[in-house]
Structure 1
Amino acid sequence: MERSLIIYDGDCGFCTTAAGFIERRMDVPADIRAWQFTDLAALGTTPERAEYELLWVDTRGRVYGGAQAVAKILLAAGLPWSPLGAILRVPPFRWLAHGVYRLIAGNRHRLPGGTPMCVLPADRRGG
């Protein structure tokens, strides 16, 4: 791949809002795409994983998920974001970031921009 790829849940209002923030406010050298419109198998991942967490696929094809995907995005965005990304990569901050990410991901339907659709598994969503 020529550019890294950020993959998010396009059915989730909170995730879509977060992806829009990245696109508008951060200068990340990556394409941003909803997993529903992405050939995940070709990237070495699954819909189950993409439903569960934000993904960062680097130019070498390595897939990072959750808090480590967020760290990769922050690092790639450069200043002022990159120092936070560097911090999120080292223990004990890495462990803390994972816990915070899981808390947010598990409650995304309750957060601003979130909808009841965010909590449903993909096979139970309309559309």
Structure 2
Amino acid sequence: MRTIPAMRTLRTEPVLVYDGDCAFCTTSANLAERWVRPRCAMTPWQFADLGALGVTRRRAEYEALWVTPTGAVHGGAQAVARLLLSAGRGWAVLGALLTLPPLSWAAHGVYRLVANNRGRLPGGSPACALPPDRRPPA
């Protein structure tokens, strides 16, 4: 997984920020990198310079984030849509569909359902269900 070497420098590619303490989130990011092959850097929020990215810790704890090189931030299902769009091929079609109502509304609902229950999903762990400040160290 590519991490961002120095986020204070000019970024030329988008960044996907996810919860590195959550096994489900990490597994999802690894699968996306392997199968979808998005054109972006991927980093856990725990190792990111969130201030340089223009996002708060609270938001990074709440949802996956797609941060463009210009600083636009897309969260949750829209971050997933942007990831798919960046991959091209058939993935871009799916990503484009996820940006259009009513599919974007449905995608938001599904994302929240998954995010709120990630500790119960395959690849998840009981720690995923805990608030980040109460999770055991990795």
TM value normalised by structure 1 = 0.97
- AA paired with 1:22? A
Measure how far apart 1:126 and its partner are: 2.2
Instruction: Measure, in 1, the Cα distance between the counterparts of 2:61 and 2:118.
Output: 12
The partner residue of 2:89 within 58, 67, 79 is 79
Q: How big is each residue's C-alpha offset from its partner over 1:54-88, in whole Å with a ceiling of 9 and x where there is no partner? A: 11011111111000000000111111211111111
Which residue of structure 2 lines up, in the alignment, with residue 33 of structure 1? 43
- Structure 2 unaligned regions, length at least 5: 1-10
Residue 96 of structure 1 is matched in structure 2 by: 106
Q: Secondary structure at the match of 1:75?
A: helix
Secondary structure of the 1:10 match is coil
TM-fit CA distance, 1:23: 1.2
Separation in structure 1 between the aligned mates of residue 93 and residue 107 of structure 2, nearest angstrom:
14
Equivalent pairs: percent with the same residue? 57
- Quick one: distance in 1 between partners of 2:105 and 2:89? 23
> Which of the numbers 107, 113, 130 marks the counterpart of 1:120?
130
Q: 1:62 is aligned with what amino acid?
A: A
Task: Tell me whether 1:22 sits opposite 2:25 in the alignment.
Answer: no
Alignment equivalent of 1:64, drawn from 71, 74, 85: 74
User: Could you state the TM-score of these two structures normalised by the residue count of structure 2?
Assistant: 0.89
Write the letter of the residue equivalent to 1:15.
Answer: C
Equivalences for residues 44-55 of structure 1 within 5 A: 44-55=54-65
State the superposition RMSD in angstroms. Answer: 0.8
- Distance in 2 (CA, whole Å) between partners of 1:101 and 1:19 is 14
Q: Which amino acid aligns with 1:29?
A: R
- Paired with 1:97 and 1:22, the residues of 2 have a C-alpha distance of 17
Identify unmatched segments of 5+ residues in structure 1: none
